Amino acid sequence: MKKPDAAGGDISLGECLYRRVLELLESKWTVLVLHALDGGRQRYRQIEARIQDITQKMLTQTLRRLERDGLIRRIVHPTVPPAVEYELTDLGRSLMPHIRGFRTWAAEHFAEVVAARAEYDRKYGQRDAAE
């Protein structure tokens, strides 16, 4: 299905850059790590403390993926042992207004989502909620 993009051209929703950007952000951990780094440079343990329930393995994988994608920078200080910090790159900072927008939307509208789910479950039963 083709839809017009913001510039008036056609984009295929199946093979567009939008889909590739969504793949960058597909993990909830990605967005949470970016949000944690929005306040400035952080050490690994600081990021871990700000994100409840993230495992060390998942945090390490997420940090590596974000660094590979150019959204964060890993800074190694030549100390013994080495001190490592992470910060958003200019590219990562350019994404943050959009991520903040999701957070604002969630604060303003998630109660409506919860109400819609409850109505759906009342109407159709729990067995259909996972489909």
CATH code of 31's domain? 1.10.10.10
Place of tokens 């958003």: 88
With contact defined as beta carbons under 8 Å apart, do 29 and 54 qualify?
A: yes
Domain count, the chain: 1
Residue 98 lies in a domain: no
State percent of the chain over pLDDT 70.
85
Is residue 109 one of the residues assigned to a domain? no
In this predicted model, what pLDDT tens digit does every residue of 3-47 receive, in sequence order? 555 555 555 655 678 888 888 888 889 999 999 999 999 999 999
Pairing of strands 10-12, 72-77: unpaired
Q: What is the pLDDT of residue 108?
A: 97
Structural domain contains residue 124: no
| Residue 103: alpha-carbon gap to chain centroid | 11
**56: containing domain:** 2-91
Identity of the residue numbered 125: G
Residue range 55-62: average pLDDT?
Answer: 96
Asked whether residue 106 is domain-assigned, the answer is no
Specify if 11 maps to a domain. yes
* Average pLDDT score, the chain: 88
Whether residue 100 is contained in a domain is answered as: no
For 86-112, what is the mean pLDDT? 96
In a domain, 14, yes or no: yes
What pLDDT is recorded for position 19? 82
Residue 8 falls in which region: left (phi positive, over 0), alpha (psi -120 to 50) or beta: left
- Identify the DSSP state of 54: -
**What's the average model confidence in pLDDT over 80-101?**
95
For residue 17, is it within any domain? yes
